[in-house]
Structure 1
């Protein structure tokens, strides 16, 4: 079924698969983000759920999605734990001991590729794999430190510094990775976004020819899409904010920006980053100054304005503030933290 709005094909119809982030995009903790389930309910694109979170098994993720009303199956869940296990299997011999810093779900993925998960340095691990677990403590980090300092290969499922929950942002796997980095002076191989392995696995699994990556983080979802050369939609329902979009480095710039996931069902032009004829944006040497063309513009839409201003912000990354002489516009951009 082709979803149309005002006679124009929807954004999603440009693609044959949607590679969807989870935390901050479809749900926060145990709760679905309002409107996300309905936004995905139509269309013919295959839906693949691509998550940096290595704490749960694909079957557990699929069960959670199904419980929240999303169309999901274990085969369409691609996790950083799976990609981390693949990287390990490509680099070390079968049946080799791998010290697991993370949940049993991560250990199961290690075992599934023919390696032997262990939890102690005394088991002589030749590799360490690290994924998010709320139970990670000093003891297991100490075991991992000993192994890494002894020369073990180190693979991190992801390096997300924070994790969105229904209570707000909390520390993510990347914060624990930082502790080991400090203790060992080593850098891990990274499986999850923005590194390419997870995106490559999702594209391979979906057999897509033209996927769209959808996520809420510029530093993982969008940078990960750019790393493998595919287009992306940033939704402002999770971690990244309007000012983050304006300050985005080249490798973190999305194709589309929208306030919510239902942008998938509207014409793609509505969400494309680009100039809007209703405004002009000038760089005065210090600030970006927005002026409506032809007087006041009436109702101001934040996401539309953001997509327009981003063009100038990316051209003049040294800008200080975003301002306007129009009171409505100025009130809106002041809420961006710009």
Structure 2
């Protein structure tokens, strides 16, 4: 049984635990059994829109128990990074949830020229004026910080444009590369692990370029969850997981998974 080999389990959310408002088959029971075994769980998401409290509420609506301390979002990690670097105030291109996480971390928002940082997240209301102002502030010296650079995220209708599409627009307009916080970069993994040994942890994700690559950089084991309705990934083929699973239930059933 895979679950017996690790003390701490890092789980991507979109595409692993749920897709949209639909809990994936086997997830609820598998997570409950893992808790009963005493496995430490951490939920990681490159979705910068919700606060950690909102992620917990979403999981609970789907019947999955979770606490704020178990959730690591790229929005929260970005807020922590800005606070530690003393980068405030910040101009935010993103959701109200991202703004709330920044505010809770003591990073004040601004629409003015005094911005020390430009933080780019994801929001359906992002417009040309937002991108134009962000690029201007960056050219004036503000630090360009991206919550992540994922080009798409899974939805019931298929892949949808994600933060990376907005980041690319701001990068093109400003001529500046961003500092990226989310997976596969280390900040979220470090926050999830705390003082735990990476060798005692495993990452379960559905993306080779973020989940699996990030785990490998940290020296962690990595499992790729590939659903039956999902097209194989053809990019990042040099990054390989330890095993491929079809659902979280496979963590508790050795015969259901196979080597990559």
TM over 0.5, shorter chain: yes
**Worse-matched range after superposition: 164-173 or 84-93:** 84-93
Aligned pairs (5 A) from 1:244-263: 244=234, 248-250=236-238, 252-263=239-250
Task: Measure, in 1, the Cα distance between the counterparts of 2:189 and 2:196.
Answer: 11
Give the match for residue 11 of structure 2.
Answer: 20
Corresponding residue for residue 26 of structure 2? 35
By how many angstroms is 1:92 displaced? 2.6
Question: 8 Å contact 1:156–1:188 — kept in the other structure?
Answer: yes
Residue 77 of structure 1 is matched in structure 2 by 71
Q: In structure 2, which of residues 45, 50, 69 is the aligned counterpart of residue 51 of structure 1?
A: 45
Partners of 2:126 and 2:158 in 1: how far apart?
20
Shift in alpha-carbon separation, 1:242–1:167, aligned structure 2, 3 A? closer
Q: Out of 196-205 and 24-33, give the one that drifted further.
A: 196-205
User: Mapping of 1:114-263 within 5 angstroms?
Assistant: 114-118=106-110, 120=111, 122-204=112-194, 210-237=200-227, 241-242=231-232, 244=234, 248-250=236-238, 252-263=239-250
C-alpha deviation, 1:260, in angstroms: 2.0
SS in 2 for 1:41: helix
Q: CA deviation at 1:138?
A: 1.6
Secondary structure of the corresponding residue to residue 16 of structure 2: coil
Secondary structure in structure 2 of the residue aligned to 1:18: strand
2:82 maps to what in 1? 88
Can you list the C-alpha shifts for 1:104-155, whole angstroms capped at 9, x where unaligned?
Answer: 221122222222112x2x3420101111112212222222111111111011
Q: Structure 2: where are the runs of 5+ without partners?
A: none
Q: In structure 1, what is the Cα distance between the partners aligned to 2:232 and 2:161?
A: 22
Aligned counterparts of 2:245 and 2:204: Cα–Cα separation in 1 = 10
Cα distance per residue 1:310-333 (max 9 Å; x no partner): xxxxxxxxxxxxxxxxxxxxxxxx
Aligned partners of 2:246 and 2:257 also within 8 Å: no
> Which residue among 227, 234, 253 is the counterpart of 1:266?
253
User: Closer, same or farther in 2 for the Cα pair 1:238/1:115, shift >3 Å?
Assistant: farther
Number of residues paired by the alignment?
A: 257
Contact 2:199 2:221 in 1 (8 A): no
Matched, 1:107 2:99: yes
Corresponding residue for 1:64?
58
CA contact 1:25–1:238 (8 Å) conserved in 2: no
TM-aligned CA distance change 1:206 to 1:29, over 3 Å: farther
TM-score (norm 1): 0.71
RCO higher in 1 or 2 (8 Å CA, sep ≥ 6)?
A: 2
RMSD: 2.1
The 2-side partners of 1:88 and 1:154 are apart by: 11
Report the 3-state secondary structure (helix = DSSP H, G, I; strand = E; otherwise coil) of the residue aligned with 2:33. coil
Describe the SS at the equivalent of 1:213.
Answer: strand
CA distance in 2, matches of 1:131, 1:157: 6
8 Å contact 1:216–1:238 — kept in the other structure?
A: no
1:209 CA drift (Å): 6.2
SS in 2 for 1:117: coil
